[in-house]
Amino acid sequence: MIKKIFISFFLFLLAPNILFAKSKFYKDGVDLFNKKKFDEARFKFEQDIVYNPKNESSYLYLSKIFNKRENIILEEQNLNTVMLLNPKNEEAVYSLAKLKLSSSDYNKSKELNKKLKAICINFCNQSDELKIEIENLSKK
């Protein structure tokens, strides 16, 4: 009984700190990303993922950082993680379709664009533009 009380009290004291850390790391990461401090932002997003491994937004920002750093492998890994966590994340689907297009994987890009078109709310115009881009590049 005393053990349960002690554990409950201990968790009561730690819970606010853990919750604060989750939101603080992500918010700090976004602020640093907007200031183009990509290495520092990457660290904050990775810290956020330690506390909140299902935060698709942190993975999405990491993919953007790796895009800026031209690290295609890590960019794709993070986009795939976003899509695993939320298959309807339009920005991730669009970014992955663009990434596949840049590597001349026209079939995968078309497939992802079809998926984007089916779920789009905010990225419908980008999907239409991407369709034209895919068609033009695949004809060459």
pLDDT of the residue at 6 = 45
Q: Are residues 80 and 123 in the same domain?
A: no
Q: Are residues 37 and 74 in the same domain?
A: yes
Please give the C-alpha separations between residue 73 and each of 6, 48, 67, 114, in angstroms, as whole numbers. 46, 21, 9, 23
Q: Are residues 74 and 17 in the same domain?
A: yes
Residue at which a domain ends, from 45, 67, 86? 86
Whether 131 and 98 have beta carbons less than 8 Å apart is answered as no
Number of domains in the chain: 2
Q: Are residues 74 and 91 in the same domain?
A: no
Q: Are residues 74 and 132 in the same domain?
A: no
Residue at which a domain ends, from 42, 66, 86? 86
- N-to-C CA span, the chain: 74
Q: Are residues 10 and 77 in the same domain?
A: yes
Please give the C-alpha separations between residue 122 and each of 58, 60, 90, 93, in angstroms, as whole numbers. 20, 16, 8, 12
The model's pTM is: 0.80
Segments forming the whole domain that contains residue 139: 87-140
Whether 60 and 91 have beta carbons less than 8 Å apart is answered as yes
Q: Are residues 11 and 32 in the same domain?
A: yes
Q: Is the dihedral of CA 65, 84, 77, 132 positive or negative?
A: negative
Q: Are residues 135 and 92 in the same domain?
A: yes
Q: Are residues 73 and 62 in the same domain?
A: yes
Q: Are residues 12 and 73 in the same domain?
A: yes
pLDDT in tens, the chain (140 residues): 665 554 554 455 444 444 445 589 999 999 999 999 999 999 999 999 999 999 999 999 999 999 999 999 999 999 999 999 999 999 999 999 999 999 999 999 999 999 999 998 999 999 999 898 988 887 76
Alpha-carbon distance of 72 to 3, in angstroms, equals 50
pLDDT of the residue at 7 = 54
DSSP strand E in the chain: where? none
> The CATH number of the domain where 16 resides is what?
1.25.40.10
Q: Are residues 101 and 130 in the same domain?
A: yes
Alpha-carbon distance of 107 to 124, in angstroms, equals 19
Q: Are residues 101 and 68 in the same domain?
A: no
